Structure 1
Amino acid sequence: MKNILFAASECVPFVKTGGLADVVGALPKSLDKDKYDVRVVIPDYTSIPQKYRSRFSYLDSFYMDLGELGNFYVGIMTCEFDGIRYYYIDNEHFFQGERLYSDILWDIQKFSFFSKAVLSMLPVIGFRPDIIHCHDWQTALIPVFLHEMFQDNPFFRGIRTIMTVHNLKFQGVWDIQTMRRFTGLPGHVFTLGRMEFHRDANMLKGGLVYADRITTVSNTYANEIRMPYYGEGLDGLLNARSDSLWGIVNGIDYDLYNPATDKMIAENYDETTFEEGKKACKLAIQRELGMPEDPDVMMIAMITRLTDQKGLDLVEWVMERLLTSRVQLVIIGTGDPRYENLFRYYEWTRKGQVSANILFNETRAHRVYAAADAMLMPSRFEPCGLTQLISLRYGTVPIVRETGGLRDTVQPYNRFEQTGTGFSFANYNADEMLNTIFYAEQVFYDEPDAWKAMVERGMTKDYSWTASAKIYEELYDSLL
Structure 2
Amino acid sequence: MKKILFVASEAVPFIKTGGLADVVGALPKCFDKNYFDVRVIIPKYMCMKEEFKNQLQYVTHFYMDIGYRREYVGIMQMEYDGVQFYFIDNEYYFSGYQPYGDIRFDIEKFAFFSKAALSILPVIDFRPDVIHCHDWQTGLIPVYLKDRFQEGTFYQGIKTIMTIHNLKFQGTWDIKTIRELTGLPAYYFTPDKLESYKDGNLLKGGLVYADAITTVSNTYAEEIKTEFYGEKLDGLLRARAHDLRGIVNGIDYDEYNPETDRMIAKNYNAKTFRKEKVKNKTALQSELGLNQDPKAMMIGIVSRLTDQKGLDLIAYVMDELCQDAIQLVVLGTGEERYENMFRHFAWKYQGKVSANIFYDNALSHRIYASCDAFLMPSLFEPCGLSQLMSLRYGTIPIVRETGGLKDTVEPYNEFESTGTGFSFTNYSANEMLSMIRYAESVYYDKKREWNKLIDRAMAKDYSWSNSANQYEEMYNWLIGS
TM-score interval (norm. to shorter): over 0.9
Q: Show the 5 A alignment for 1:71-220.
A: 71-220=70-219
Counterpart of 2:50? 50
- Alignment partner of 2:220: what SS? helix
- Alignment partner of 1:150: what SS? helix
Counterpart of 1:62? 62
- Alignment partner of 1:155: what SS? coil
CA shift for structure 1 position 413? 0.3
Q: So what's the TM-score if we normalise by structure 2?
A: 0.99
CA shift for structure 1 position 276? 2.2
- Alignment partner of 1:301: what SS? strand
Counterpart of 1:437? 436
Q: CA RMSD in A?
A: 0.6
CA shift for structure 1 position 153? 2.5
1:284 aligned onto 2:288: no
In structure 2, what is the Cα distance between the partners aligned to 1:139 and 1:145? 10
In structure 2, what is the Cα distance between the partners aligned to 1:74 and 1:453? 56
Counterpart of 2:11? 11
In structure 2, what is the Cα distance between the partners aligned to 1:258 and 1:366? 9
Q: Show the 5 A alignment for 1:225-244.
A: 225-244=224-243
- Alignment partner of 1:230: what SS? coil
Tell me the number of residue pairs that the alignment of Structure 1 and Structure 2 aligns.
Answer: 479
In structure 2, what is the Cα distance between the partners aligned to 1:138 and 1:399? 32
Amino acid at match of 2:328: L
In structure 1, what is the Cα distance between the partners aligned to 2:291 and 2:63? 61
Amino acid at match of 2:284: I
Amino acid at match of 1:434: L
In structure 2, what is the Cα distance between the partners aligned to 1:398 and 1:11? 26
CA shift for structure 1 position 154? 1.2
In structure 2, what is the Cα distance between the partners aligned to 1:138 and 1:430? 35
Q: Show the 5 A alignment for 1:349-428.
A: 349-428=348-427
Counterpart of 1:22? 22
Which sections of structure 1, spanning at least 5 residues, go unmatched? none
Counterpart of 2:470? 471
CA shift for structure 1 position 83? 0.2
- Alignment partner of 1:316: what SS? helix
Counterpart of 2:292? 293
Segments of 4+ moved more than 4 angstroms: none
Which sections of structure 2, spanning at least 5 residues, go unmatched? none
Q: Show the 5 A alignment for 1:244-393.
A: 244-393=243-392
- Alignment partner of 1:246: what SS? strand
In structure 2, what is the Cα distance between the partners aligned to 1:315 and 1:93? 42
CA shift for structure 1 position 97? 2.6
- Alignment partner of 1:88: what SS? strand
Q: What is the aligned-residue identity percentage?
A: 61
CA shift for structure 1 position 98? 2.3
CA shift for structure 1 position 322? 0.5
- Alignment partner of 1:334: what SS? coil
Counterpart of 1:449? 448
In structure 2, what is the Cα distance between the partners aligned to 1:47 and 1:67? 26
In structure 1, what is the Cα distance between the partners aligned to 2:374 and 2:259? 20
